[in-house]
Structure 1
């Protein structure tokens, strides 16, 4: 099955660009409620699956042993901006473990947060690994590494941390991963289908607080993300603004190359989508359209209108076009 048009850019009354993709909504049983494109399309979930990668952190007892807070668990699921808030939390987390920035294996890059970037420039400082948008996830990996008394190269495929991540990933997606790629932060990223990723999100959505160890971990991670949207991404970002718009009722997470997921506890549903050309503006428009369809996101909220039916303006403030859902999507 082919990808279907999901988002369009119009300019001057003419269609300028079209973005196609695949999307699935699953219920708590893992069955498909609705689907667009090919549910069995194999994708790399990229950072959209960080809550799956964080499951062993809780299930192993490492989070409890380290006394991790819900804020730290939200940061473990984050693709953050590298703002002072994020960097400070990662630095303190590592110090509490008796470790340092040098123990991270994510690499350094310039922070996306403008204030922190400007501070570094003015102070003639180079960015460090704590500025990496995945440093919270890696702090979680290090917490698990220390708990397991494993070696320092925790991003290696055969390391106990990544073996635990793969096992949890395959169990919750209910699929054997057909392969893996190396993510931007150097950790393995296991492939799955769009259906498998949506099935996993629905499992998170349906997980009760007092269920099995895995369900309890899912429940806690979902609530931690929804309660701390500023840690999951950052100011101005879609994940943060849209979770705030939904008043903490839904947890959402983007991934590189236009992947987006949503966990909707009140509906016991999960969403996964992939825009095939990797266009972020399209994945943000598409997830908004699906959340509006399910009645959990206000179509007229400013955070929604920033991404769906989003008026485009040029540098002089003139309206030049609009980004909207393609005809027939989501129906």
Structure 2
């Protein structure tokens, strides 16, 4: 499997202002990007910047990477908690680490069978526990450990060798096939993600199209549709497992009370699945600014009636900036012409 991509325009080409940060009367920061809202029919409802911008989805596509886990029957005995973890970029809290460890144990495997690498716990309580116990973080604390437990579950079904993150491994071959089918586009190549697995590139419109299919899927559909419903609903049911306390994915899904599933990806990618509207959303901030991606997805969720503009969570990502003493310092807002 080749990771060589043809020449593509810079991700900044054709980008437009999406998010502004004002401090006093001065525009302090301006974040440019691309955003697409699509229906499952392939119709572009609206777009800013270039819908055909080629990006790495990074962790925003974990629900797509988990499709073969269910479509092959490998995950037939998994619970919604397992599926939420398979889609998660968690912060290594006890609720995440313990569940992934138990999942591996049920497979007859252990932390050493993971190939995601070690990562410091981002959850403060777990970080403090490790320090007090004189322990170090391990692969279970990696934000992708749930995804990798899903990979291992699929790998056992496929009877692949231990190196399941290699691009030509049967696990990754299954994932690439599913990824290209639901994006509707051949991937031009891949990059190696922070968890060592290949991350397949696609156009932003392809990513939004995939999310729209997750949004429109029903239990009465085919095997893929039922897998999409299971993964989507698991994320909505367990937002705490998808990310964690104080994280945007968890905060926003809790606030929407079942109306949407959202997922961030590294370098400021964000997607949303809106079942009631049968819409998929994908966006990319070209400077990699996470704050801007969180503000942009918040604005689009409000625009498409999945999130109430008056909900307190909105102020965390889109609204006033306060000093550490609580003084008004500025505000984050959408740029003119966006959302």
TM over 0.5: yes
- Partners of 2:173 and 2:143 lie apart in 1 by 23
Match of 2:5 in 1: none
> Which aligned pairs between 1:1-331 and structure 2 lie closer than 5 A?
2-64=14-76, 67-309=77-319, 311-330=320-339
Provide runs of 4+ in structure 1 moved above 4 Å.
none
Query: Aligned-pair distance for 1:316?
Result: 2.7
Deviation by residue 1:66-105 (Cα, 9 ceiling, x = unmatched): x210111010000001000000000000000000000000
- Partners of 2:326 and 2:120 lie apart in 1 by 29
- Partners of 1:30 and 1:11 lie apart in 2 by 40
| Consecutive unaligned residues in structure 2, runs of 5 or more | 1-12
Task: Please say if residues 46 and 189 of structure 1, whose CA atoms lie closer than 8 Å, have aligned partners that are also in contact.
Answer: yes
Deviation by residue 1:33-55 (Cα, 9 ceiling, x = unmatched): 10000000000000000000000
Query: Aligned-pair distance for 1:14?
Result: 1.3
Deviation by residue 1:154-213 (Cα, 9 ceiling, x = unmatched): 000010000000000000000000110000000000000110000000011111112111
- Partners of 1:303 and 1:105 lie apart in 2 by 35
Query: Aligned-pair distance for 1:114?
Result: 0.3
Query: Aligned-pair distance for 1:300?
Result: 1.5
- Partners of 2:240 and 2:34 lie apart in 1 by 28
- Partners of 2:239 and 2:208 lie apart in 1 by 21
- Partners of 2:314 and 2:107 lie apart in 1 by 39
Query: Aligned-pair distance for 1:318?
Result: 2.2
Deviation by residue 1:121-178 (Cα, 9 ceiling, x = unmatched): 1111010100000000000000001111110000000100000000000000000001
Deviation by residue 1:217-252 (Cα, 9 ceiling, x = unmatched): 011111110110000000111000100111012010
- Partners of 1:286 and 1:299 lie apart in 2 by 13
| Consecutive unaligned residues in structure 1, runs of 5 or more | none
CA RMSD between the two structures: 0.8
- Partners of 1:133 and 1:296 lie apart in 2 by 27
Q: TM-score w.r.t. structure 2 length?
A: 0.95
- Partners of 1:193 and 1:57 lie apart in 2 by 24
